[in-house]
Amino acid sequence: MPGCNNNSRLSAEEVQELKQICRYVRKMIINTVADAGCGHTGGSLSEVEILVGLYFRIMNIDPHNPSWQERDRFVLSKGHASPGYYSVLANRGYFYEGKLADFNAIDSMLQGHPCMVKTPGVDMSTGSLGQGLSAGIGMCLGRDKRGLDFKVYVLMGDGELQEGQIWEAAMYAGFHKLSGLIGIVDYNKVQLAGTVVETLDLEPLADKWKAFGWKVLECDGHDIGEVVDTIQKAKRMSESGPVVVIAKTIKGKGVSFMEGKFQWHAKAPSESERKLALEEIDSCVE
Amino acid sequence: MKIGEMIAPRAAFGDALVELGGKDQEVVVFDSDVGTSTQTARFKGAYPDRFYQVGIAEQNMVAMAAGMSTLGFRPWVSTFAVFLAKRAADQVRVSIAYPKLNVKLNGAYGGIPTGKAGATHQSVEDIAVMRCMPHMTVVCPGDAYETEQAVYEANKFVGPLYLRTVRCPVPIIFDKNHLFEIGRAYTLHEGNQVTIISTGMMTPKALRAALELEKDGIKARLIHMPTIKPMDEEAIVKASKETGQIITIENHSRLGGLGGAVAEVLSEHAPCKLHRLGFPDCFGESGDNEAIFSKFGVNTECIISKAKEMIKC
Ligand SMILES: Cc1ncc(C[n+]2csc(CCOP(=O)(O)OP(=O)(O)O)c2C)c(N)n1
């Protein structure tokens, strides 16, 4: 397993290892959502490489000590994509994988949307879109006042960027040239009830962030090597101010009948769909 | 502060925050461009490095404070009650109340007194909104003296807390014999014919009413309820059983605030005749504070006439 907070480039072997983890996480997502009969499938599948890159390679964390003060922070601002998040946290050793079977069940530590009080490894409670970037900024302020030196990563949905609060936060971070803040946009082009383009388009998105004082990087959000390289670069660039990585992704990535379809935003697969999905994920081993 | 002196609770809040900041290095203050009104500008003057000017962005401010509190700081967020409790209600709810983060919320300009700004700035529903939020504690001090104490108690308290302050000068009714504790009711006047339960800046008005009634031979009990949640239910039940009728008064809507909370307690545990004085289900308006209070029946005279009416029948 790749080490943490590793700044070197991925070797071909490491790329294969991470790809293997991504495949495994995708299967966990399918199983978690299918078992629970509910959950946000599409946006969980699109964020897999980003989360695996962060938790298995980039972030300075200790799963055995989730409240370690110097750890890097992560905020899943698009909190509905919790099945993907929980699958990665479980895989990374924050809690036992079997807990995923309780996702959304009564008394479960795995709530529909992330709860920092209930789930080890969750740094911020989210679920109402648009709030996570602000919380991330607050963490940066606290870090600076404490004289600590960690990074704060905030993952946002593209639809989520329609929330005004995101831009309040962007303006604040840009104006103050807040360092060590890395935003990531899961740019999967689809939101809850349709595509982003037909709902309320974001373009020119990179220009918008630039206008708010952010540096912008773009990458293919499903090429794990590129994802890791780009976020590492963003991390270095963030010394002098906030950086956003716009990761081009596909909603429902990895399961062809879910890809690009808003209908799979929050739909659980049936038993036959589960089987098909798992087979397809397994079969894509290069 | 001398008894009877007119001091604005917001000023006491601003001064107390400065004093607190001197003693507690973990206190940080967030403002959304209203610090010269809410009086957090005083903190900015004393501790500029612990003052965060967020700009006119209440939602961002509230969630930022939530994030900062995860590092162990004690953020105080201050803006007009009307915006804090409603424009940023969802941020208070999801980013602060749900994870039970240690953030203090100052709803300034509570109720009617806003310097004639009118309905858009008069927060007549903030107590109701905050009160029904899980994990939230709601405090509404009676005068500047109690406001100062409440700032300290709120800071000691671990968890989300809403502290309502008012803009206009209010007569001082408390001195060093008063010890504000979260969750406790205070009997300021003994009586057995009727109970007046008041909160916030209505308490000085209610105290005057109780004293006036006494002159007319009516023994009214006055209970000051500076904590709306958790509410001192025992004091209410006792008052119901011992005096048989209750009047509530607040600088807030009759719906969902002190009157609503008292009604909930009474109907479950000790039903009795209840009359709620407060704003009817309507928006406020510009004008002198006292003229507005009078127009909507929220003042000393209204308490007196209501009490007399209740006792007669
Ligand atoms: C404030 C708020 N409004 C509405 C919702 C309901 N909702 C949940 S997910 C979603 C669409 C999100 O789209 P996007 O950000 O693109 O996420 P992704 O496609 O990555 O799942 C909506 C509208 C919400 N959770 N919060």
Q: Annotated catalytic, B301?
A: no
Most A CBs within 10 A among B32, B61, B62, B64, hence the mutation to make, goes to B64
Q: Where are the domains of chain B?
A: 6-171, 186-312
pLDDT of residue A2: 37
Which residues are B223's β-sheet partners? B187, B197
Nearest CA in chain A to B25: A145
- CB proximity A146 to B under 8 Å: yes
Q: What is the number of alpha carbons within 13 Å of residue A168 lying toward its C-beta?
A: 22
- Residue A191 near ligand 1, beta carbon < 6 Å: yes
Determine the distance in angstroms separating the CA of B101 from the nearest CA of chain A, rounded to an integer: 10
Q: What are the pLDDT digits (tens) for A38-69?
A: 999 999 999 999 999 999 999 999 999 999 99
Q: What are the pLDDT digits (tens) for B109-124?
A: 999 999 999 999 999 9
Q: What are the pLDDT digits (tens) for B5-47?
A: 999 999 999 999 999 999 999 999 999 999 999 999 999 999 9
Residue positions counted in chain A: 286
Distance (Å) from CA A73 to ligand 1 centroid: 22
Distance (Å) from CA B134 to ligand 1 centroid: 24
Secondary structure class of A260 (helix, strand, coil): coil
Task: Count chain A–chain B contacts defined by CB atoms under 8 A.
Answer: 109
pLDDT of residue A4: 62
Q: Are B30 and A137 in contact (CB under 8 A)?
A: no
All residues of chain A having their beta carbon less than 8 Å from the beta carbon of residue B57 are 165, 168-169, 171-172
Which residues are A75's β-sheet partners? A154
Q: Of all atoms in ligand 1, which is nearest to the CA of residue A251?
A: 19
- Check CB contact under 8 Å for A145 and B71: yes
Determine the distance in angstroms separating the CA of B226 from the nearest CA of chain A, rounded to an integer: 30
pLDDT of residue A1: 38
- CB proximity A135 to B under 8 Å: yes
Q: What are the pLDDT digits (tens) for B185-206?
A: 999 999 999 999 999 999 999 9
With helix as H, strand as E and coil as C, how does A72-119 read? CEEEECCHHHHHHHHHHHHHCCCCCHHHHHHCCCCCCCCCCCCCCCCC
- Residue A276 near ligand 1, beta carbon < 6 Å: no
Nearest CA in chain B to A166: B60
Query: Which CATH fold topology does B186-312 show?
Result: Rossmann fold (3.40.50)
Q: Of all atoms in ligand 1, which is nearest to the CA of residue A113?
A: 25
Q: What are the pLDDT digits (tens) for A244-269?
A: 999 999 999 999 999 999 999 999 99
Provide the pLDDT confidence category of residue A286 given band limits of 50, 70 and 90. low
Distance (Å) from CA A202 to ligand 1 centroid: 15
Q: Are B242 and B235 in contact (CB under 8 A)?
A: no
Q: Which of A126, A138, A140 is nearest residue B65 as measured by Cβ atoms?
A: A138
- CB proximity A111 to B under 8 Å: no
List the residue whose alpha carbon is closest to atom 16 of ligand 1.
A159
pLDDT of residue A9: 87
Q: Which of B55, B60, B69 is nearest residue A134 as measured by Cβ atoms?
A: B60
Distance (Å) from CA A80 to ligand 1 centroid: 7
Instruction: Give the burial class of B291: count Cβ atoms within 10 A of its Cβ; 0-12 exposed, 13-18 middle, 19 or more buried.
Output: exposed
Q: Of all atoms in ligand 1, which is nearest to the CA of residue A44?
A: 21
Q: Do domains B6-171 and B186-312 have the same CATH topology?
A: yes
ipTM value for the complex: 0.94
Secondary structure class of A156 (helix, strand, coil): strand
- In angstroms, the CA A262 to CA A108 distance is 28
Q: Which member of B58, B153, B233, B250 is catalytic?
A: B58
Distance (Å) from CA A267 to ligand 1 centroid: 14
Give the pairing of strands B170-171 and B6-7. antiparallel
* Among B279, B238, B284, residue whose Cα is nearest residue B262: B238
Provide the pLDDT confidence category of residue B313 given band limits of 50, 70 and 90. low
Q: Of all atoms in ligand 1, which is nearest to the CA of residue A40?
A: 21
- Residue A185 near ligand 1, beta carbon < 6 Å: no
Mean pLDDT, chain A, integer: 96
Q: Of all atoms in ligand 1, which is nearest to the CA of residue A127?
A: 25
Mean pLDDT, chain B, integer: 97
Q: Where are the domains of chain A?
A: 12-283
Distance of CA B136 to the CA centre of its chain: 14
Q: Which of B50, B66, B72 is nearest residue A138 as measured by Cβ atoms?
A: B66
Q: What are the pLDDT digits (tens) for B273-311?
A: 999 999 999 999 999 999 999 999 999 999 999 999 999
- The pLDDT > 90 percentage for chain B reads 99
List the residue whose alpha carbon is closest to atom 25 of ligand 1.
A128
- Is the CATH code 3.40.50.970 the one for domain B6-171? yes
Round the CA-based radius of gyration of chain B to a whole number and report it.
19
Tokens of B44: 């900015």
Q: What is the DSSP letter of A39?
A: S
Q: What are the pLDDT digits (tens) for A78-134?
A: 999 999 999 999 999 999 999 999 999 999 999 999 999 999 999 999 999 999 999
- Residue A79 near ligand 1, beta carbon < 6 Å: no
Q: What are the pLDDT digits (tens) for A144-190?
A: 999 999 999 999 999 999 999 999 999 999 999 999 999 999 999 99
Q: Are B5 and B172 in contact (CB under 8 A)?
A: yes
The CATH number of A12-283, from 3.40.50.720, 3.40.710.10, 1.10.1660.10, 3.40.50.970, is 3.40.50.970
- Check CB contact under 8 Å for B95 and A165: no
Q: What are the pLDDT digits (tens) for A212-240?
A: 999 999 999 999 999 999 999 999 999 99
- CB proximity A165 to B under 8 Å: yes
All residues of chain A having their beta carbon less than 8 Å from the beta carbon of residue B59 are 130-131, 134, 164-165, 168
pLDDT of residue A3: 45
Q: How many CB atoms lie within 10 A of CB A194?
A: 13
- CB proximity A124 to B under 8 Å: yes
Distance (Å) from CA B86 to ligand 1 centroid: 21
Residue A7 has pLDDT above 80, yes or no: no
- Residue A80 near ligand 1, beta carbon < 6 Å: yes
Provide the pLDDT confidence category of residue B159 given band limits of 50, 70 and 90. very high
